[in-house]
Structure 1
Amino acid sequence: MLPPVESLGPDDGFPVLLIGGATWSRDWWDEIATAPLVERGLRVLRYDHRDTGEAEHWPPGAPGYTGADLTADALAVLDGLGIGAAHVVGLSMGGGIAQELALRHRERVAGLTLVATTAVDPRVTGLPGPDPSLAPGPELDDPVETIVEGERPCAGPGRFEEDRVRAIARNVVARTKDLASAPNHVLVAGDPNPGPDDLSALAGLPVTVVHGSADPVFPLEHGRALAAAIPGAELVVVEGMGHQLPPERDWRGVVGKVSPGRR
């Protein structure tokens, strides 16, 4: 089943697949994130995960799918649009999906940009957990403000783009069938995925690991370990960035590393 997907830029441009984090609909890949890619003549693909946006929803706490299904959805986007291979950009949970997609379907991935995420390889161990001060944001009367306040503690000091997040949150609320279902991702994100899991198998694939020095969910050690687990991967540390999409002032430098390759 093809997830609800939007294609931006020229149809004949080299494809870049954007995979969002847990609870993210495609709205989080806003114009600030997509415009620098489109300006380079790339074809940008963004889609709704299950339980977000216009995708199918399940009751809160009872997802009718697994983590492997979320990986299959990313592949379904490429299949449904007739795309042989794409550069894949994944953030947080989306970074895990991107790794799994590359491990299971190497021929469909021309390169990886892994943002604010951690290794899916079970051999990578001993990493620190989230900042203990993190806690779920308050449930406010306004769902837009609930989303905004939920994102605020994840951003690095001075890196919270409040107006941008609020604009995204308005789109999320307007397009989502049931906001209470999105946390289902947390229940399936740790599901074991059948198939290869040794990240050293990605040697030779262009990989950039982008991690914030102030990430409270996956501290910087996660980014360092992920880059070390993939031979030849480049680590880009964004000073002061938290667990978030790189702020606008940092993003263009990140997307500059997205290089067209084979299809």
Structure 2
Amino acid sequence: MTTVKANGIALGIESFGDDNAPLVLLAGGTTMLSWPDALCERLAAGGRRVVRYDLRDSGESTTDPKQAPAYTLRDLAADAAALADVLGDGPAHLAGIDVGGMVAQVAVLDHPSAFSALTLVGTRAVAPGPPDDDLPDHDQATMSRLFARPIPDWTDRKAVAEFAAAAAEILGDDPLTGRAVAARIWDRTPGTAPPVQMANQMGMVFSRLDCKPRWRERLPEIKVPTLVVHGRRNRFFPVGNGKAIAREIPGAQLLVLEEAATAIPAAAIDEVAAAMLTLG
């Protein structure tokens, strides 16, 4: 893991595979560890240079969490385009998971020449907050359980990992994986102050981000090959959100993972990698 300068800021990255191979850029949701190691390795074995990166205010990227970030969703999209330019000689395959999927959609719309393909995992086409009337909202029973829990002591690595494991179980993900990833995120977080930890562990800084103007109506402008991956059991962004994106992007492929929720489970790694590799 290292950092690179792009769009005037530092972005934390980790690379897999041959530096001269076609680039697949994985936007974190919000940290790079949203992307499983095994998927990165599988894509690299398929002849790609894979680079996963931290969004601003997470991991090794420029961090200054405040009540309201000074940057916007458009700035995060510009980060992706600038990073693709710094790392590669040509357009990159951009993939985004969760809120990183929102960044990826806007990046391909605002910077079409920077990208050759698009993968969107477990995301939606509207900003945080109430969705459009035709899109399913978060499962309210799940959200009530998530937010009824006491916040952990952010200075206690074990407590933070247990907090994440419980969240994973509520969301329908693997709690053992959730615990392990949260511990790794804690190790990479620059400080234990609640705003910094919540930005890394919960992506809370993203909920305060300026995401205007809307971009859903522009999805038909996307011309690159697109793959939409969504878990059938996703209670945070229910599967109807992924289906809507796939309908609205011309020619998009839809891959519904029947046993998945918000994360990409180990059992689906080969299937997701194989589908991504067909895009280029």
State the alpha-carbon separation in 2 of the partners of residues 213 and 18 from structure 1: 22
Structure 1 residue 4: Cα displacement: 1.8
Question: What is residue 35 of structure 2 aligned with on the other side?
Answer: 29
State the alpha-carbon separation in 1 of the partners of residues 215 and 35 from structure 2: 29
Contact 2:24 2:95 in 1 (8 A): yes
Question: What is residue 167 of structure 2 aligned with on the other side?
Answer: 150
**Is it true that 1:40 corresponds to 2:46 in the alignment?**
yes
Question: What is residue 244 of structure 2 aligned with on the other side?
Answer: 225
Structure 1 residue 207: Cα displacement: 0.9
Structure 2 residue ranges without an equivalent (≥5): 1-7, 154-158, 191-195
Question: What is residue 201 of structure 1 aligned with on the other side?
Answer: 221
**Is it true that 1:191 corresponds to 2:211 in the alignment?**
yes
AA in 2 matched with 1:226: I
Contact 2:229 2:254 in 1 (8 A): yes
Structure 1 residue 152: Cα displacement: 2.7
Structure 1 residue 67: Cα displacement: 1.5
Q: Quick one: structure 1 residues 58 and 227, their matched pair in 2 at CA, closer, same or farther if it must change by over 3 Å?
A: same
State the alpha-carbon separation in 1 of the partners of residues 59 and 89 from structure 2: 23
Structure 1 residue ranges without an equivalent (≥5): none
Contact 2:74 2:107 in 1 (8 A): no
Q: 2:140 aligns with which of 120, 125, 132?
A: 132
Q: How far does the alpha carbon of each residue in 1:108-154 deviate from its partner, in whole angstroms, 9 at most, with x for none?
A: 21111111111249xx7521211011133432341222222233322
Q: 1:1-263, aligned counterparts within 5 Å? A: 1=8, 2-21=10-29, 24-120=30-126, 125-133=133-141, 134=143, 135-136=146-147, 137-141=149-153, 142-155=159-172, 160-177=173-190, 178-182=196-200, 183-188=204-209, 191-193=211-213, 197-203=217-223, 205-244=224-263, 246-259=264-277
Q: Which has the higher contact order (CA 8 A, sep 6+)?
A: 1
The secondary structure found in structure 2 opposite 1:89 is strand
State the alpha-carbon separation in 2 of the partners of residues 242 and 201 from structure 1: 29
The secondary structure found in structure 2 opposite 1:198 is helix
Structure 1 residue 261: Cα displacement: 6.7
State the alpha-carbon separation in 2 of the partners of residues 173 and 72 from structure 1: 27
Structure 1 residue 184: Cα displacement: 0.9
Between Structure 1 and Structure 2, the one with more helix by share is 2
Q: Quick one: structure 1 residues 217 and 83, their matched pair in 2 at CA, closer, same or farther if it must change by over 3 Å?
A: farther
AA in 2 matched with 1:144: A
Contact 1:7 1:46 in 2 (8 A): yes
Structure 1 residue 96: Cα displacement: 1.2
% identical equivalent positions: 33
Q: How far does the alpha carbon of each residue in 1:158-190 deviate from its partner, in whole angstroms, 9 at most, with x for none?
A: xx32332222111100111131344111111x6
Q: Quick one: structure 1 residues 231 and 243, their matched pair in 2 at CA, closer, same or farther if it must change by over 3 Å?
A: same
Q: TM-score, normalised by structure 1?
A: 0.86
Q: Quick one: structure 1 residues 125 and 132, their matched pair in 2 at CA, closer, same or farther if it must change by over 3 Å?
A: closer
Structure 1 residue 71: Cα displacement: 1.1
State the alpha-carbon separation in 1 of the partners of residues 240 and 68 from structure 2: 33
Contact 1:54 1:175 in 2 (8 A): yes
Q: Quick one: structure 1 residues 242 and 30, their matched pair in 2 at CA, closer, same or farther if it must change by over 3 Å?
A: closer
Q: Quick one: structure 1 residues 94 and 83, their matched pair in 2 at CA, closer, same or farther if it must change by over 3 Å?
A: farther
Contact 1:99 1:120 in 2 (8 A): no
Q: Quick one: structure 1 residues 117 and 81, their matched pair in 2 at CA, closer, same or farther if it must change by over 3 Å?
A: same
The secondary structure found in structure 2 opposite 1:4 is strand
Structure 1 residue 80: Cα displacement: 2.2
User: Number of paired residues?
Assistant: 252
